[in-house]
Structure 1
């Protein structure tokens, strides 16, 4: 298995813009989508696919993750870009996707909010939000 390559948020955004079949899969929890926001791909006529990697509040791995990908229309030829808060859960989700027959899995480096800054806040150092990419509250 080749592994899941890290792709910057900007390169991910560009790939989503240029490839009609590229899909952004947000693997954070319901609570994160609702309270932190989600990437906005409406300018490309796309929506982010929301499939939690771990289920809140127990944070158990979603045993139906691969099945949810299939139901969302993903196939072995789909280019799937996985995003979470900071890039760890999305890497695990990408690895699971590859193991389940989705070879074109990519990890969005630094995720939606990135690492914490000097004040302990996320969203300003690196990641989707810090790069100024479109997002919205749910």
Structure 2
């Protein structure tokens, strides 16, 4: 766990993230993968919690270049949030690396001045780590753990 600008950045596995999202109606999940990943692989589904995932690219496809509008898009999503400032933001990507970077960037940019208390990385991500055959989705991750998700 690290603290940046007064905001805690920590990590939890997908099951724990789901339980925390269930128990906190103000918590929000930001999926930082690319549009291609959302379209072809799917998205976490928070509809049973009465919420939607906020899809905001951290890196843009196909160049995988940093999204220069990422922090502005997060600020816009926070401003539009009908529930007010979330008590906690969860960040998810394919396997947990990009989402950790995104969580740190949001913590640094917004800090305690916004009233945001925590930024949390969903370790393992949506698809999880590679298995012995070089495939994702069998070792760990949101989908492998059977958490709600949908495909477009």
TM score, norm. by length of structure 1: 0.93
Distance in 2 separating the partners of 1:119 and 1:60: 28
1:41 alignment partner in structure 2:
46
CA distance in 2, matches of 1:43, 1:76: 21
Alpha-carbon distance in structure 1 between the residues aligned to 2:75 and 2:58: 14
Instruction: Decide which of 98, 109, 130 is 2:107's aligned counterpart.
Output: 98
Unmatched 5+ residue regions in structure 2?
112-116
Q: Which has the higher strand share?
A: 2
CA distance in 2, matches of 1:71, 1:20: 19
Deviations along 1:7-54, whole A, 9 cap, x unmatched?
110111011111111000000000000000000111111100000000
Q: Which moved more, 1:14-23 or 1:72-81?
A: 72-81
Over residues 79-120 of structure 1, what are the superposed CA-to-partner deviations in whole Å (9 max), with x where a residue is unaligned?
110000000000000010011114511100110001111221
Unaligned stretches of 5+ residues in structure 1:
none
Contact 1:10/1:128 (CA < 8 Å) preserved in 2? yes
Given the alignment of the two structures, is residue 120 of structure 1 paired with residue 134 of structure 2, yes or no? yes
**Matched residue pairs, number?**
138
Equivalent residue of 1:72, what SS?
helix
Correspondences of 1:1-138 after superposition (within 5 Å): 2=3, 4-73=9-78, 78-102=87-111, 104-138=118-152
- What is the deviation of 1:130? 1.1
CA-based RMSD of the aligned residues comes to: 1.6
